[in-house]
Amino acid sequence: MNGAPNGPQTVSDVLDALDGVIAQALQTGSRVGYFAAIYRKVTAKVAEGIAGGFFDDGDRMQRLDVAFATRYLSALALHQHGGTPTRSWQLAFEAAAASRPVVLQHLLIGINAHINLDLGIAAAETAPGSVLPSLRRDFDRINEILAMLLEGIRRDLAEVSPWIGLLERIGGRHDDEIVKFSIEVARSEAWRFATELAPVPRDHWGGPIGGRDARVARLATVVLNPGLLTVGLLVIRSRESTDVRRIIAVLNQVEEPDLQVVEMRVRQERAPTD
Give the pLDDT score at 173: 46
Spatial neighbors of 115 by CB under 8 A, at least 6 apart, are 143, 146, 183, 186, 187, 190
Residue among 30, 24, 201 nearest 124 (CA):
201
Q: How far apart are CA 215 and CA 238, in angstroms?
A: 31
| pLDDT at residue 175 in the model | 41
**What confidence category does residue 118 fall into, taking pLDDT thresholds of 50, 70 and 90?**
very high
Q: What is the pLDDT of residue 5?
A: 55
Is pLDDT of 205 > 50?
Answer: yes
Average predicted confidence (pLDDT) for the chain = 91
Q: How confident is the model at residue 272 (pLDDT cuts 50, 70, 90)?
A: low
pLDDT of residue 44: 97
pLDDT tops 60 at residue 64: yes
Can you give the pLDDT at residue 174? Answer: 46
- Asked whether residue 177 carries a pLDDT value surpassing 70, the answer given is no
Listed in sequence order, the DSSP H helices in the chain are 11-28, 32-51, 58-80, 87-96, 103-111, 120-126, 136-156, 166-171, 177-180, 183-197, 206-224, 230-238, 244-252, 259-270
Confidence of residue 181 (pLDDT cuts 50, 70, 90): low
Mean pLDDT, residues 70-88: 97
Would you state the pLDDT for residue 201? Answer: 96
- Interval 20-42 mean pLDDT: 98
Mean pLDDT, rounded, for 257-263 = 96
- The pLDDT of residue 228 is above 60: yes
- Over residues 179-195, mean pLDDT: 83
pLDDT for residue 1: 41
Whether the predicted pLDDT of 182 surpasses 80: no
Looking at residue 269, its pLDDT comes to 83
Give residue 3's pLDDT: 54
The pLDDT of residue 166 is: 74
Q: Is the pLDDT of residue 10 over 90?
A: yes
What is the per-residue pLDDT for 176? 46
Give the other-Cβ count within 10 Å of 19's Cβ: 12
To the nearest whole percent, how much of the chain has pLDDT over 90?
A: 76
pLDDT of amino acid 9: 96
